[in-house]
Structure 1
C-alpha cells in the first residue's frame, strides 16, 4: 500500500506540474550534455597526450645542397664525419632514450605515407627536399631544450625541431574548448538546480492538503518527502538519458573524426565513453534529488 501511495503521489505531481517538469528535464539534459561534452573532450585530450607523449621526438635536420639556412650555405652539405659527431653527441646524453638516423630517401618515403590522403602536398614535395635527420626519443619530453642546446649550431646541422611545440598549440586549443564547455555546463547546472527547486516547491504547495493529512495521521518526515524526492530523481534520470544520446552522438559523429584527421589510433575508447555517460547520469539524479531535498527542508517541515 505504501509503495502504491508513493507511486500515485509521484504521478499526481508529474501531471500537475507537467510543463515545469518538462522544462526541468530539458534544462538538465542540456546541462548534462554540455558537461558530458566537456568530459569527453577531457578524456580525448588525455588519451591523445598519452599517445603522443610516448612518441614525441626531437628531430635534428642535417644540411643538404639545397638547404636555405645561412649556416648550411656557408658550410655546405653535411659530411659523414659531421653526421657521426652529431650522432655520438646525442647518444652520449643521459636525457636521450634512442637515436635513429633517417636518410633522405627514408624521410621522403615517410612523408609520402603520412600525407597519402593529401595529393597536393604529396605532389609538391620531391625526393631530396626533405633533409636527412636524426630522430631523437627523449626520456622526458620536457628535456627538449637541454638536448637541443647540445647540437644547435653544430657543424652540418641545419635546424632542430621539437614535435611537442606544435602539439602544445593544438592541446592548448582543446583545453580551452574543454574548460569553456565545462564552465557553461556548470552555469546550466546551477540554473537547473534553481528550476528544480521551484518545481518541487510548486508541487509541494499544490499538495499541501495531502501532506497536512499525512502529518495528522503520523507519517514520518521521510515518508512525506519521498514522493517529491523521487519526482526530482526521475526528472534527473530522464534528462541524463537524453543527454547520453547527445554524448554518444558527439563521440561517433565528432570525436571519431579525430582519428581520420590524424591517421593515428587516437579515437576515444568505449570505456571512456561509458565513464562519461555514467558520471552524467549519476550527476543528473544527484542534482535533482539534492535540490529537491534542500527545497523540501523549508516547505515540508514536520
Structure 2
C-alpha cells in the first residue's frame, strides 16, 4: 500500500514538473525572506543586549567654546566638577552607579584622534575644544534618567547625554528593515500557499479518471488524498531545505566571514545556535504550510 501511494506521488510530480518547480522556487524565496527577517531580529536583540549593557551616561562640562546657555559663566571650575562628583557618590544616586571615571580634555583628545585618525579634520581640533566629562556606567541602564535629572542644570555642566538615545534611533531603522523583510516574506508565503493549492488541484484533475476508479473500488478518502498531500510536502520540504541552506550559507560566509572581521565592534549572530535554529523553523514552517494547503485543496476538490 505504501508503495502504491509513493508511486502515485511520483507520478503526480512527473506530470506537473513545471508547477512543482515553481512551488519549490516560490517556497525557497519566501522562506529565505522569513529566515532573513528572523536572523535580523536575532541580530538586533544580540546587539541590544551587548550595547545597552555598555551604554554610558556622559556628563560634559563647559569649555571656552561652549554655546549652551548653561555655560555663560565660562569654563567649568574644579569646584563645580567636584560638586558633580559629590552628587555621583552621594546616597541619592550612588546605588544606581556601577562605576564612573573622569576624562580630562587631553584624554578626550587622545580618544578623538584614535577614533578619527583617518579624518584630515583632526588637525584642526585642539584639546581645549573638547569637554572634560564624567563617564558613568549604571547597574541598570534603564535608570539613566535618574542621573540625567539629578546632574542636569548643575553649575558648569554643559549637557548630560544618555548614549541609549543614539542606539534607539539605530535600532529603530533596523527594526523597520526587519518588518519590511517580514512583510515581503508574508506576501510571498501567501503566494506559495496558493501555488501549492493550485498545483494539487491540477494534479488531481489530471488523474480524475484514476480517482473515480479508486472511489468505485471503495478506497478511503485518506488513501486517495495521501499521494497529493505528499506531493505538496515534497515541494515544501525541498523549498524549505534550500532556504535553510541559503540562511546557513549567508550566515557563515557573509555575516561571519565578511561582516564580522570588518565590523568587530558589532556583536554578530553566530551559526550555533542562531542560524541553525532559524533553519529548523523554516523547514517546519515549509512542511506545515505545504501540508495544510495540500490537504485543504484536495479535500475541496474531492467534495466537488
Give the TM-score normalised by the residue count of structure 1.
0.89
CA 258–288 in structure 1, closer or farther in 2 if over 3 Å, else same: same
SS state of the match for residue 61, structure 1?
strand
Structure 1 residue runs of 5 or longer lacking an equivalent are none
Equivalent pairs counted in the alignment come to 299
Q: Which residue of 1 aligns with 2:281?
A: 279
Alignment of 1:28-107 (within 5 A): 28-72=27-71, 74-92=72-90, 93=93, 94-107=95-108
Aligned partner of 1:267 in structure 2 is 268
Offset from partner CA, 1:98-155 (integer Å, 9 cap, x none) = 3222223333333344445x44465554444432211112333333333212111211
Structure 2: which 5+ residue stretches go unaligned?
Answer: none
Does residue 136 in structure 1 map to residue 133 in structure 2?
no
| Whole-angstrom distance in 1 between the partners of 2:97 and 2:74 | 28
Q: 1:223 matched to which residue of 2? A: 223
Kept after mapping to 2: 8 A contact 1:60/1:134? yes
Q: Decide whether the 8 Å contact of 1:38 with 1:178 is kept in 2.
A: yes
Q: Distance in 2 between matches of 1:253 and 1:86?
A: 49
Shift of 1:163: 0.9
The 2-side partners of 1:144 and 1:266 are apart by 23
Q: Structure 1: how far apart are the matches of 2:122 and 2:275?
A: 36
Deviation at residue 197 of structure 1 after TM alignment: 0.5
Matched residues in 1 for 2:2 and 2:122: separation? 70
Following superposition, the deviation at residue 284 of structure 1 comes to 0.9
Question: Alignment RMSD, CA only?
Answer: 2.4
Alignment partner of 1:7: what SS? helix
- Contact kept, 8 Å, 2:201 with 2:297, in 1: the verdict is yes
The CA distance in 2 between the partners of 1:119 and 1:249, in whole Å, is 36
Contact 1:28–1:189 (8 Å) recurs in 2: yes
CA distance in 2, matches of 1:122, 1:260: 26
Which of 269, 277, 294 is the aligned partner of 2:296?
294
- Distance of aligned partners of 1:120 and 1:230 in 2 relative to their CA distance in 1, 3 Å threshold: farther
Q: Do the aligned partners of 1:98 and 1:137 also contact (CA within 8 Å) in 2?
A: yes
Alignment correspondent of 1:189: 189
- Structure 1 window deviating more from structure 2 (99-108 vs 283-292): it is 99-108
Displacement after TM superposition at 1:208 (Å): 2.1
Shift of 1:282: 1.2
